[in-house]
């Protein structure tokens, strides 16, 4: 990856003197969103800046062990206006792992009200918004955490990497690559991991904390989804699953419990595309899409579910009923297939 040196210079100049900084990431935050945000926060705090990390809603319980999560402001739980006061005072607003402010949903209006703060975007999704003063966008990067690593190295030097920062970055890297199983795996990425190991990260402990810390309810929910809810189309080459709120309650659902379910059908040899539909509070259905090889779910999500993402991993929303959403998906898959796209 070649970072724009003029952007790195501008970033250094922006943080030459202590600033009040807010770091944000997207709704339904994952390991990459949290890891990249907190890692950057640690670096800036060490440089004398006042930093607050804000997320629109709760993050998965199995990531609460990550250093710094206890200081994250959750906007949806903020009853006394902490979010607004912190954002109003911010001199710099950094958006990590999101290509546009709309990914903040209910938090968007609060952020756009501050027209004085410098805005910085650090992201690896397609089609980044231009509503920023400084943009670090790399769709070829496997994760935003890896992009943050490159920015830290270029702007502050590898000596800025500590075991804590390395741990946060490594969580982002593994959760956005399926523990280094997906695309955009480069020699540079693994050299970055070597730097994190030298900084003192404990890979077996991190892996155990991320992947072996679920509840019994989550395990039973997974079994139910695979056994009862997984359906296939086009002679078994396309799969989909769905979960209603009632079904989630039956298995004591917690935020993040269904994370990764959409990937499982891709372990079946014939399956090239997988979808997961889950009812959300607020009256919509979250659509998660994954694929292998040339099947472009980013285009599929944009065309049929007002969403987007990456070539092999994307998402969107549906405001129809679950039944109608699934019917729309089936018809869309047929159309996509007839065009030779799946």
Q: Does 263 score more than 90 pLDDT?
A: yes
**What percent of the chain is predicted at pLDDT more than 90?**
83
pLDDT value, residue 130? 87
* HEC per residue, the chain: CCCCHHHHHHHHHHCCCCCEEEEECCCCCCHHHHHHHHHHHHHHHHCCCEEEEEECCCCCHHHCCCCCHHHCEEHHHCCCCHHHHHHHHCCEEEEECCCCHHHHHHHHHHHHCCCCCEEEEEECCCCCCCCCCEEEECCCCCCHHHHHHHHHHHHHCHHHCCHHHHHHHHHHHHHHHCCCCCCCCCHHHHHHHHHHHHHCCCHHHHHHHHHCCCCHHHHHHHHHHHHHHCEEECCCCEEEEEECHHHHHHCCCCCCCCCCHHHHHHHCCCCCEEEEEEEECCCEEEEEEEECCCCCHHHHHHHHHCCEECCCEEEEEECCCHHHHHHHHHHHHHHHHHCCCC
Architecture of the domain defined by 5-211: Alpha-Beta Complex (3.90)
Here the tokens at position 157 are: 């030097």
Architecture of the domain defined by 216-338: Roll (3.10)
Q: Average of pLDDT values for 245-270?
A: 93
pLDDT value, residue 281? 82
Here the tokens at position 272 are: 């090239």
Question: How confident is residue 300, by pLDDT bands cut at 50, 70 and 90?
Answer: very high
Per-residue pLDDT tens digits for 188-200: 999 999 999 999 9
pLDDT value, residue 131? 87
Q: Does 141 score more than 80 pLDDT?
A: yes
Question: Global pTM?
Answer: 0.90
pLDDT value, residue 271? 97
Give the whole-angstrom CA distance, residue 330 versus residue 337.
10
Neighbours of 15 (CB within 10 A): 19
pLDDT value, residue 172? 97
* CA dist 111 → 54, 77, 136, 257 (Å): 11, 17, 19, 29
Q: Average of pLDDT values for 204-219?
A: 95
Domain ranges within the chain, ordered by starting residue: 5-211, 216-338
Per-residue pLDDT tens digits for 120-134: 999 998 888 888 999
Here the tokens at position 145 are: 């955490």
């Amino acid at each position: 990856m070649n970072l724009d040196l003029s952007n790195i210079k501008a970033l250094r100049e922006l943080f030459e003197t202590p600033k009040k900084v807010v770091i944000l990431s997207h709704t339904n935050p994952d390991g990459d969103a949290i890891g990249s945000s907190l890692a950057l926060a640690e670096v800036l705090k060490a440089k004398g800046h006042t930093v607050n990390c804000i997320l629109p809603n709760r993050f998965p319980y199995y990531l609460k062990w990550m250093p710094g999560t206890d200081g994250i402001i959750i906007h949806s739980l903020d009853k006394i206006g902490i979010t607004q006061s912190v954002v109003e005072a911010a001199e710099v607003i950094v958006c990590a792992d999101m290509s546009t402010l709309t990914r903040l949903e209910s938090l968007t209006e609060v952020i756009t009200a501050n027209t004085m703060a410098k805005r910085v975007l650090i992201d690896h999704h397609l089609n980044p918004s231009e509503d920023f003063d400084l943009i670090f966008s790399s769709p070829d990067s496997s994760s935003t955490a890896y992009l943050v690593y490159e920015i830290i190295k270029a702007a502050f030097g590898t000596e800025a990497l500590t075991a804590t920062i390395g741990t946060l970055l490594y969580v982002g890297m593994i959760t956005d690559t399926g523990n280094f199983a997906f695309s955009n795996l480069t020699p540079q990425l693994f050299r970055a991991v070597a730097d994190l190991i030298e900084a003192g990260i404990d890979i077996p402990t991190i892996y155990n904390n991320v992947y072996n810390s679920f509840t019994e309810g989550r395990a039973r929910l997974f079994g139910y989804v695979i056994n009862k809810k997984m359906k296939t189309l086009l002679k078994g080459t396309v799969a989909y699953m769905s979960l209603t709120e009632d079904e989630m309650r039956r298995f004591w659902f917690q935020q993040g419990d269904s994370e990764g379910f959409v990937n499982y059908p891709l372990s079946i040899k014939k399956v090239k595309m997988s979808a997961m539909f889950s009812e959300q509070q607020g009256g919509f259905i979250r659509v998660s899409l994954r694929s292998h090889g040339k099947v472009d779910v980013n285009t599929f999500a944009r065309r049929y579910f007002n969403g987007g993402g990456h070539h092999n991993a994307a998402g969107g929303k549906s405001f129809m009923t679950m039944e109608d959403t699934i019917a729309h998906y089936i018809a869309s898959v047929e159309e996509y297939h007839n065009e030779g796209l799946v």
